Homo-oligomer: A and B are copies of this chain.
Amino acid sequence: MRKNKFKEIYQELSTQIQEGILQANTQLPSEHELADRYETSRETVRKALNLLSQNGFIQKIRGKGSIVLEANKFSFPVSGLVSFQELSESMSKESVTTVHDFGLIEPDGFLQQQLQADSKDLIWKVLRSRQIDGETIILDKDYFLKKYVHSLSKEVAEKSIYAYLEKELGLKISFAKKEIVVVDATEEDKRLLDLKGFQHIVAVKNYVYLEDASLFQYTESRHRLDKFRFVDFARRGR
């Protein structure tokens, strides 16, 4: 038996919606119909449709059916963004990463609190700036608990830390809590970023958790005000 039949159905339908084969504002075949067509059970079809709905591709209406939404209008909910690899990818084009600081440190009080660590938990600190279209507008401060990330190098930091953590170390990231606030620009911000006189920056704080619910990373991504943009796509009803 094939394993993720509902994901295959999801993939096929979402692709067809994005390519316009399934047109926006038209009706999707009924769940019974799709179950026949894919030679599967209705519950499996429903799993696929629920995924499509959660990701903004369709809208299910009880008693009526499911309609296809305009793919480009919602397209990819940037929400749920976990890594800054993803972030830089989403604005890729002319992105240049510079590593300003890299090493193992003992956490100060602030970091101990953020990472729920004690003073003898060593921590990898990575300080990187992101230059986009010739302007340095993002400062990323990453902190990883060494007990989960045994080794790390500056070379990795220059590329993608997340690819390394997931592919090389096999760490499984399961969820993240994000907080967005506006704070005063620090001397460090002014030194490392092209702030153009802005006195505040947008700080995106990320707390990243592994599969077993242990916190292993705290990251602060500091953005120049005028270049910051956050998009979220929310469905009603939990």
Contact = CB atoms under 8 A, between A and B. Distances in A.
B174 A228 contact: no
A234 B180 contact: no
A74 to B, nearest CB: 6
Contact of A238 (B25, B54, B177, B234): B54
Contacts of A175: 56, 59, 233-236
A146 interface: no
Given A56-B175, A212-B67, A235-B174, A228 B81 contact: no
19 contacts: A43-B43, A54-B238, A59-B175, A59-B212, A74-B177, A174-B235, A175-B233, A176-B236, A177-B231, A177-B234, A178-B231, A178-B233, A179-B229, A179-B232, A180-B228, A180-B231, A181-B228, A182-B225, A200-B225
A181 B180 CA distance: 11
Size class of the A contact interface (CB-based, 8 Å): 35 or more
A115 to B, nearest CB: 13
A155 interface: no
Contacts of A232: 79-80, 177-180, 232
A230 interface: yes
Contact of A181 (B51, B69, B81, B229): B229
A82 interface: yes
B61 A236 contact: no
A114 interface: no
A193 interface: no
Contacts of A236: 82, 173-176
A163 interface: no
